Amino acid sequence: MKQENAVPVAAMYIDGRFVPAQSGETFESVNPVNGELVALIPFGDERDARSAVDAAAAAFPTWSRLSAAARAKYIHRVADVLERRRGEIASVVTTEEGKPLHEAQGELQLSIDSLRWYAEEARRAYGSWIPDPVPSRRLLTQRQPVGVCGAIIPWNVPCAMIFRKAAPALAAGCTMVLKPAEATSYVSLKVAEVFAEADFPAGVMNFVTGKSSAIGSVFLTDARVRKISFTGSTEVGRLLLRGAADQIKRVSMELGGNAPVIIFDDCDLTATIQAVSALKFLNAGQACIGANRIYVQAGIYDEVSRRLSDHARQVKVGDGSQPGVAMGPLVDMRAVEKVEALVGDAVRKGAVVRAGGSRMQGEAYEKGSFYAPTVLSEVPLAARLHDEEIFGPVAALYSFDTEVQAVEMANNVPYGLSAYIFTENIDRAFRVGERLETGMVGINEIRVGAAEAPFGGVKMSGIGREGGREGLEEYLETKLLAIRVREQI
C-alpha cells in the first residue's frame, strides 16, 4: 500500500468508546473507482459482537424508560451533527461505495429526515383503552420497545440504511448493535463519530465491523438480542430467518427485488424514457428497487428500445466525486463479473445488445470496476437476468401485447418489492397497480421512498416495512394491562 501513512485506521464504536477489534486485526476498504485504500477497518468477531451486546443490554433499561420526548431530544441532536457533517460523510459514501456525489447527498438527506421524523413519531406511540365486557376490570394497552436489536445492512445504501433502522428503533426505546457490509464499513464508523459528537448515551447505539457470519451468529444465539433487522440478499435473509427461529426472535427482512417496469403505449413517452433511464442507472443499477424487467407494449417497443439506448450512451460514467458524472463504478470486480455473466447468458439465448454490453473501455476505467450502461432488446424469458436480480446497469427489454399479459408477466417471479407502471390512463393505473404482487408501486413515478412512507416487499422480498408509521411498529411490542377495579365506593 503506497499511501499507507495517509490512510485512516478506523475504530468500532462500542459502549460509547472507539475501540479496535479484540483480535487486533484489520481489513482494507478500497475505492471502487481506482482500487486505492480508503481506510483500515477493525476485523471484529464474536468477542466484539458480544461486548457490543453487553453494552446495548446494559443501556436498555435507562434508555427505554426515558420519555419519548427525552429520547427525541437526543435523536434530534444526532440529526444536527449529521447536518453539519453531511458534506464530509457524503463524500465518504462516494469514495467507498462509488455512487455519484449527488446520490450520496440524497442518502444524507434521507438519513436526516428519518431521524427527525421518527424522533417525533415515537411521541405518538399511543396505546389504547379497550371497552371491557367485565364491569370490575379495565383493559388497556401500552406500546413498549422490543429490546436490544441486531441490525445488518448492505453496502449499496451505506448511510441511509443505518438510519432507516436506527431512527425508529432508538426512538421507540430500543438499543442497537449494527453491523455494516464489509465493503462500506468506513461510512458506518464515520456515522459512529456523529453519535459520539452528539453525546449520545453510551451503549445505546453500537457499531461492530468485521466477520459477518461471526457477528451474525452472536445476534442469533444471544438471547438478549430480541430482534434482528436485516437488509440484503434473500439468500442471507433466509439463513438469518432460520437462525432466528431457535429463539423465536422478531425479524424485519428487506430482501432482494426484481422490479417489473410496465410501459403502456398510452404513456407520456419522453417523461417515461427519462424516468426509466434514471431508475435503471441509479447507483449503477445496484438498487433493490431498480428496474430489472422492462416490459414494453408491442406498438412502442422499437421506439422505446431506440430512445432508451440513446439515453444509455449519453450517461456520463466515471469517478462520482467529479462534477457531471451520472454513474460510478460497480461496488467491486465480482459484481462486474456477475453482470458480464448475466449479459453473456442473455446474448447467447438471443438478446440483442443495443447499447453498452461490456466493461467500460479506456484508461480512466482501467483501475476501477466499471461496466457500461447497457440496453438489451429481444431478451428471451429464459434468460437468467429475467429471474435473477441484475444489480448492474443493464436494461433488459421484453415485449407484451395486453394489460392482462403484462400483469401476469410482472407477477411471475418469487419476488415482490417494487413495480412501476407508465400510462396516462387512470383506470388502467389503478387496475394494474392493485393487481401487482409487490409492496410498492410507482405510477409514472420512480421515487417510492420517503421517511414518512412504508418501504418493503412481499413474497421473497421480505417481511416488514421501513419508514412511516409501519416502520415504528417493527420496534414495538403491545403490552396489555388488565386491572381489577372495585365497584363499591
Q: Which residues are catalytic?
A: 254, 288
Minimum distance of ligand NAP from residue 77's CB (angstroms)? 27
Least distance (Å) from ligand NAP to the CB of residue 182? 3
Query: One symbol per residue from 272 to 291: x for binding ligand NAP (CB under 6 A), - otherwise; what is it?
Result: ----------------x---
CA neighbor of 332 nearest in space, from 374, 290, 367: 367
Distance CA 124, CA 378 (A): 52
Per-residue contact track with ligand NAP, 398 to 437, x per CB under 6 A? -------------------x--------------------
Helix (H, G, I), strand (E, B) or coil at 173: coil
Work out which of 256, 393, 449, 467 binds ligand NAP, going by CB under 6 A: 256
The one-letter amino acid at 471: G
Judged by CB under 6 A, the residue of 82, 146, 152, 263 near ligand NAP is 152
> Is the four-CA dihedral 149, 151, 157, 162 of positive or negative sign?
positive
Q: Is 266 exposed, middle or buried (0-12, 13-18, 19+ CB in 10 A)?
A: middle
Number of residues that bind ligand NAP (CB under 6 A): 27
Q: Residue for cell digits 438478549? A: 224
- Which of the ranges 150-158, 191-199, 340-348, 468-476 carries the binding residues for ligand NAP, by CB under 6 A? 150-158
Residue 87 has phi, psi (to 5 degrees) of -65, -45
| Using rule CB under 6 A, residue 156 touches ligand NAP | yes
To ligand NAP, the closest distance from the beta carbon of 255 in angstroms equals 5
- Residues 251 and 228: their CA atoms lie apart, in Å, by 5
Distances in Å between the Cα of 383 and the Cα atoms of 235, 245, 375, 400 are 20, 35, 14, 16
- By beta-carbon proximity to ligand NAP, the closer residue of 34 and 233 is 233
**What's the closest the beta carbon of residue 287 comes to ligand NAP, in angstroms?**
7
Out of 57, 79, 115, 157, the only residue in the binding site for ligand NAP (CB under 6 A) is: 157
Q: Which CB, 142 or 212, lies closer to ligand NAP?
A: 212
Would you say 211 or 226 has its CB closer to ligand NAP? 211
Least Å distance, CB 218 to ligand NAP, is 10
Q: Is 257 in the site for ligand NAP (CB under 6 A)?
A: yes
Crossing angle, helix 101-121 and helix 160-172, to 10 degrees?
A: 10
Residues 160-219 that bind ligand NAP (CB under 6 A): 179, 181-182, 212-213, 216
Which residue in 173, 232, 368, 373 binds ligand NAP (CB under 6 A)? Answer: 232
Burial class (CB in 10 A: 0-12, 13-18, 19+), 470: middle
Select 173 or 237, whichever has its Cβ closest to ligand NAP.
237
Kindly indicate which of the ranges 103-111, 124-132, 154-162, 276-284 contains the residues binding ligand NAP, using the contact rule CB under 6 A.
154-162
Shortest spacing between CB 281 and ligand NAP, in angstroms: 16
Which residues make Cβ contacts (< 8 Å) with residue 56, sequence separation at least 6?
148, 149, 175, 176, 177, 203, 204, 206, 224
| Rounded (5°) CA angle 280-413-447 | 35
Nine-digit cell at 326?
Answer: 451520472
For residues 136 and 12, give the distance between their C-alpha atoms in angstroms, rounded to a whole number: 54
Tell me the CA distances in angstroms from 9 to 29, 85, 140, 196, 478, one per residue in order. 10, 19, 52, 17, 43
- Return the C-alpha cell found at 434: 392493485
- Burial (CB count within 10 angstroms: exposed 0-12, middle 13-18, buried 19+), residue 159: buried
For residue 446, state whether it binds ligand NAP (rule: CB under 6 A).
no
Q: Considering only 8-16, 54-62, 225-233, 366-374, which stretch makes contact with ligand NAP by CB under 6 A?
A: 225-233
Rounded Cα distance, 38 and 7, in Å: 6
The correct pick among 34, 233, 321, 444 for binding ligand NAP (CB under 6 A) is 233
In whole angstroms, the minimum distance from the beta carbon of 276 to ligand NAP comes to: 19
**Contact call for residue 439 and ligand NAP (CB under 6 A):** no
Q: Please give the residue ranges that form the binding site for ligand NAP (CB under 6 A).
A: 152-157, 179, 181-182, 212-213, 216, 231-233, 236, 239, 254-257, 288, 389, 391, 417, 457, 462
